[in-house]
Amino acid sequence: MAYKFKVWTDGNREYFQWGILENKHDKKLTNKKDFEFTQSLLALLDLNMDDFYEPTGKMGEMIKVLYGKPDGSGDTFNLRRAFDSLARKHIFFEFLRIDWIDRIDRYERKDFEGSVDRLMWYKDITWIPSNIGTWQNQIKDLLKKALDGTARDKTVQKATADLYKGYDGSLALFSFSPLSTGFERVANDTMAEVLYPRSILDMTDFLLREIIKREVSFKICKSCGKYFPAIAHGNTEFCNRLFQDTGKTCRDIGSLAKWREKVAASPAILLYNKHYKTRFSRIRAGKITREIFQEWAALARDYRDKVMNDEKTLEEFEDWLKSGRWVE
C-alpha cells in the first residue's frame, strides 16, 4: 500500500486531502480538512518550537533503536503513537504522520532496499524544531518587509520582487524551491494548481507563494500583536485567534474594548447606563415588574440614540429621565 497527500487553495479556503491507497489505480482520498486561506501558515508561525525539541528527540531515539533490528522485528507501537500525537499539533504534521506511517509499514514488511537508516533517517525528525524555527523567522521577515499592507504604496508582488532583487540564496530570506505540482479538477466547477508535497517545507513554500501571487497583505492584530490577513476581515484591527486563556478571540476582546471606549466618550450612554441600573434595581425590590422595566428601557434607548444622532440634546434626555415621563 502507498499514500497520497495533496494541497490546494481557491483563494478563500485552503484544502488538505490524504489517504492510504490500496493499489496504484486507487484514487479515493478519505480524509480532508480545510481552513481559511493563510490560516495554516499563520498557525505554523504561532507554534513555539521549543516545545517540540523533547518529543522529537525521543522519536529520534525510537527510530535509531530500529536500526539494530533490520529484519523488521522492532517495536514500533510507541513511535506510531508519537506521530499520531504530533499530527494533532498542526495540519502540516498530518503529512509527516502519514509519510512516516508508510515508512514504518515498509520497515515491518521489510519492503525496502539498503539499510534501515536510508528508509528512516532519524534526523529528519529531530531537526524539525530548528528547521521550522528558521522558516518562521524568514517568513516573519518577509511579512514585515513585503507583505505588511500598513501604509505601503507597493503591491505585494512589487514589494516581494524588490526584496528578492539580487538574492543569492542565502539564509537571510525564505528560499523558494521547485515543487511537485499538477493542475487538475478539484471540484465540480473548479480547476486548481495542486501540490503533492514531499516535506513540510513544500507545503510552507506552496502556500507562501500562493499568498504572494494572490496579492494577500497582512495586518498586525492590536490585541495579540500577530499577523492576520487584511482581506479576510475588512477594516477590523483584530484577528480571530483565541486571546490567551480568556476563551474569547482577539476580535471579541477588541470589540469589548472599543465599546468601553465608546461608552467612556459618550455622555448619553453613561447617562443611560446610570438610570438603567437604577431602574433595574427596582425589579429586585419588587417596585416595578420586568415588563414595565423593559418597556421603559426600549424608550430610553431610543431617546439615547436620538441624542447620539444630534436629534435631541443631552439636557433634554436628562430631564426626560428624571421626570419619569415615558413619552413626549
- The phi and psi torsions of 148 (rounded to 5 degrees) equal -75, 115
- Three-state DSSP state, 29: coil
Closest CA to 206 of 83, 44, 97: 44
Rounded to the nearest 5 degrees, what angle is found at the Cα of 223, between the Cα atoms of 219 and 226? Answer: 45
Torsion angle (degrees, nearest 10) of CA 120, 125, 126, 130: 140
What is the reported pLDDT for 257? Answer: 58
The alpha carbon of 131 is separated from its chain's Cα centroid by a whole number of angstroms, namely 20
| Crossing angle (nearest 10°) for helices 128-142 and 39-46 | 120
Q: State the Cα–Cα distance between residues 53 and 110, nearest whole angstrom.
A: 30
What is the reported pLDDT for 309? Answer: 83
What is the reported pLDDT for 57? Answer: 97
What is the per-residue DSSP string for 233-288? STT-S---SB-TTSSSBHHHHHHHHHHHHHHHH-HHHHHHHHHHHHHHHHHHTTSS
Q: Are 136 and 44 in contact (CB under 8 A)?
A: yes
Q: Are 53 and 74 in contact (CB under 8 A)?
A: no
Residues of the chain with pLDDT under 50: 232-233, 327-328
Residue 35: other Cβ atoms inside 10 A: 16
Cell readout for 50 is 521549543
Residue 225: other Cβ atoms inside 10 A: 9
What is the reported pLDDT for 25? Answer: 54
Q: State the Cα–Cα distance between residues 36 and 32, nearest whole angstrom.
A: 14
Stated pTM of the model:
0.75
Host H or E run for residue 185: strand 181-187
Q: Are 250 and 243 in contact (CB under 8 A)?
A: yes
What is the reported pLDDT for 328? Answer: 37
